[in-house]
Structure 1
Amino acid sequence: MNNSHPTTKSHLFHIVDPSPWPILTSFALLILVAGGVSFMHSYKFNHYILAFGVISVAYCLYSWWRDVIKEGIIDHSHTEPVRHGLRIGMALFILTEIMFFGVFFASFFKSSLSPVGLLDGVWVIKQGVWPPPNIKVFDPFDIPFINTLILLLSGTTVTWAHYALEERNQKDCVTALGLTIILGIFFTCMQAYEYYHAAFKFTDGIYPSNFYLATGFHGAHVIIGTIFLIVCCFRARRGDFAIKNNGHLGFEFAAWYWHFVDVVWLFLFTFVYIFGS
């Protein structure tokens, strides 16, 4: 009796093969969070735990995404219904990110629109001012304005890359992606410079806490988006996106993510930097 499985299937849906990466990524994230908590509280071996967590997460995600790329390009598993489902998944992921930032903005507006100067238990004795008088805020039209121009320009270049990809112009696509990556790295460097010269620390009160949480979380997204675009640039140079019916989902999702990062920064610049100052 021949028990071999048929090489063809009668449907367009992708039956995912068993994979170790979801559970391994979960454990790696647990180690990363434990390392972050250890680092904040200066526990013993905190640097080693944090470094091991970062390396573990990076390796698991690299291996997982490598398998996804293989499924799409080599195995041809990303049929139209599968691509539609992946797009819905990415849209829902971005929606959860919007909720994250929504919480940060809610905290910021709660603190800025009704600042508390003095509390007696749960009762407000004295109304405060915003920003707090002991906080020297950033000039919104200095580094923050430059960063705004950088991200707006990067949104233009990533759109250029998308159009070049649609026209099968590999050279322009790689060039535009390279420019976007450079702009993303430049933004991160400017943000790090701003943090280094900040006149307040995270523990100096409610304003620094809100500021660093919102802008730092966005900065992490810029770094992730830049890595996403670097991977897409290498894949574009290799010709992965030129394969017929591949759908270049990886680049499409990277562009969505980058535009999301751009829009969030416009809100941060308007409310945290301009209104908040």
Structure 2
Amino acid sequence: MANAHQKNHDYHIMEPSPWPLVASIGVFVMAFGGVGYMRYLSGGSFKLLGLELAQPWMFFIGLVLVAYVLYEWWADTIKEGREGHHTPVVSLHLRYGMIMFIASEVMFFVAWFWAFFDASLFTGEAIQATRAEVTGGTWPPSGIEVIDPWHYPLYNTVILLLSGTTLTWAHHALLHGDRKGMIQGLSLTVVLGLLFTCVQAYEYYEAPFAFKNSIYGATFFMATGFHGFHVVVGTVFLIVCLIRATRGAFTPEKHFGLEAAAWYWHFVDVVWLFLFFSIYIWGGWGAPIAETGH
């Protein structure tokens, strides 16, 4: 009778989990809360079944719920790996899943870059631009002062390239059994990720144009802001890996969590290089450069 329940395959049949359902509820609440939050900021109303949802609290409740689910779900995944459920077949499928996730992120960025190139190459044709933007069919639009690509954007390019180097150092240190080198490399990568976010936040603070009233500002902030969000997510990912590394969770043979974080971070690096050349340099070519605090 015991042999009938013995596992004789490499696949992992998971126990029933509440997290898919809870995650769906959290995302649902956060989506409606986001609409209500935007209506709240604009002074509007958003009623559903007689309830006034134009409030900020619903979005943050959904956000906290999603964050909690992420913590618990990934904690369960780590526990499953410790219990030996991550066989070579399961590990391969985890890698396939990470590759598909990054591929879906690529398509997100394609959408933002597509919008930027469409607006810049076909000025006034596919967009309802303001009169100032249509004048002369120029890009950037007339009256726009752009950010100097050789100041804050160049700083951030160097920062991200260095972070990719320190993360590779951490990975190679792990493969060679150098736990101290792995922790040092991860720590430097986290610091560089936080520094990138601080520099970009200050760049936004000094930006000479706003998100609204300009197709240039809208496409610029959507592309760079979406990338900045990914840097924040990647930094959190690396912080979790650093905490796990200090607790001895990774070995040269078993370290997919760190490997997945490295894939994600290098993806963010590559996207930034394309963004730097296409939006900051090419996209602002010939336009007047705004004076900044430097």
TM-score by length of structure 1 reads: 0.91
CA distance in 2 between partners of 1:120 and 1:56 (Å): 39
Task: Give the alignment's Cα RMSD to 1 decimal.
Answer: 2.2
Question: What do the CA deviations read for 1:66-100 (whole angstroms, capped 9, x no partner)?
Answer: 00000001x21000000001101110110010011
Change (3 A) 1:268 1:119: closer
Residue 25 of structure 1 corresponds to 23
Of 186, 199, 204, the match for 2:213: 204
Report the residue type matching 1:273 in the other structure.
Answer: Y
Residue 46 of structure 1 corresponds to 55
SS at match of 1:71: helix
CA distance in 2 between partners of 1:60 and 1:226 (Å): 19
CA distance in 2 between partners of 1:68 and 1:12 (Å): 16
Q: Deviation of residue 36 (structure 1)?
A: 2.2
Of 64, 68, 80, the match for 2:73: 64
CA distance in 2 between partners of 1:67 and 1:117 (Å): 51
Residue 225 of structure 1 corresponds to 234
Of 280, 284, 290, the match for 1:273: 280
Residue 148 of structure 2 corresponds to 139
* Comparing 25-34 and 181-190, the one that deviates more: 25-34
Residue 14 of structure 2 corresponds to 16
Change (3 A) 1:218 1:120: closer
Residue 95 of structure 2 corresponds to 87
Q: Deviation of residue 171 (structure 1)?
A: 0.7
Does 2:214 align with 1:189? no
Change (3 A) 1:120 1:257: closer
Question: What do the CA deviations read for 1:80-121 (whole angstroms, capped 9, x no partner)?
Answer: 000001101110110010011011111111111121189899
CA distance in 2 between partners of 1:137 and 1:103 (Å): 22
Q: Deviation of residue 174 (structure 1)?
A: 0.7
CA distance in 1 between partners of 2:169 and 2:3 (Å): 48
Residue 161 of structure 1 corresponds to 170
CA distance in 2 between partners of 1:118 and 1:72 (Å): 51
Change (3 A) 1:126 1:146: closer
Identify unmatched segments of 5+ residues in structure 1. none
SS at match of 2:177: coil
CA distance in 1 between partners of 2:35 and 2:153 (Å): 29
CA contact (8 A) 1:154 1:180 kept: yes
Of 30, 35, 38, the match for 1:37: 35
Change (3 A) 1:182 1:170: same
CA distance in 2 between partners of 1:248 and 1:3 (Å): 33
Of 251, 262, 269, the match for 1:262: 269
CA distance in 2 between partners of 1:27 and 1:255 (Å): 30
CA contact (8 A) 1:162 1:173 kept: yes
Residue 177 of structure 1 corresponds to 186
CA contact (8 A) 2:119 2:215 kept: yes
May I ask how many residue pairs the two structures share in their alignment? 269
CA distance in 1 between partners of 2:65 and 2:175 (Å): 35
CA distance in 2 between partners of 1:221 and 1:91 (Å): 16
Q: Deviation of residue 146 (structure 1)?
A: 0.2
Change (3 A) 1:4 1:18: farther
Change (3 A) 1:57 1:127: same
Identify unmatched segments of 5+ residues in structure 2. 46-52, 285-294
Report the residue type matching 1:208 in the other structure.
Answer: G
TM-score by length of structure 2 reads: 0.86
SS at match of 2:250: helix
CA distance in 1 between partners of 2:94 and 2:128 (Å): 52
Q: Deviation of residue 29 (structure 1)?
A: 1.4
Question: What do the CA deviations read for 1:244-263 (whole angstroms, capped 9, x no partner)?
Answer: 74x21110000000000000
Residue 251 of structure 1 corresponds to 258
CA distance in 2 between partners of 1:192 and 1:29 (Å): 27
CA contact (8 A) 1:117 1:129 kept: no
Structure 1 moving runs of 4+ over 6 Å: 2-5, 117-121
